[in-house]
Structure 1
Amino acid sequence: MRIVVVGAGYAGTFAANRAARKIRGAEVTVVNARPEFVERIRLHQQVAGTAEAATPLGAMLRPGIATRIGTVEKVGDGTVLLGDGESIGYDRLFLAVGSTVRALPGTVPVGTWEGARQARAALAALPAGSTVTVAGGGATGLETATEVAEARPDLRVRIVAPSVADCLSGGARRRALAALDRLRIEVVDDGVEEAAAGVVRLRSGREAGSDLTLWAIVAGVPDLAARSGLDVDAGGRIVVDACLRSVTDRHVFAVGDCAGVPGTRFGCQTAHPQAKAAVDALARLERGRAPEPYTPRYVARCVSLGRADAVAQFTHPDDSLRDGYLGGGAAMAFKKIVYVGTKYSTRKAVGA
Structure 2
Amino acid sequence: MRTPNPSSGAPRTAPADLSHAHDSAPRPRRRLAIPVPRGRLAWITGVASSIWLAANTLFWCLLLFPMALLKLALPFAAVRRRVDPVLNGIATAWVSCNTGWFVRIQPQAWDIQGNKDLRYADWYLVNCNHQSWVDIFVLQYSLNRRIPLLKFFLKQQLIYVPVIGLAWWALDFPFMKRHGKAALRKNPDLGRQDQEAARRACAKFSLVPTSVMVFAEGTRFSEDKRASQGSPYRHLLKPKAGGLAVSLNAMGERFRSMIDVTIAYPDGAPSFWDFACGRAGQVVVRMRQLPVPPAFCEADYTRDKAFRTTFHQWLGQQWQAKDDEIEALVSRGKKSAG
Same fold per TM (> 0.5)?
A: no
Higher share in strand: 1
Higher relative contact order (CA 8 A, sep 6+): 2
TM-score, normalised via structure 1 length? 0.26
Whichever structure has more helix as a proportion of its residues is 2
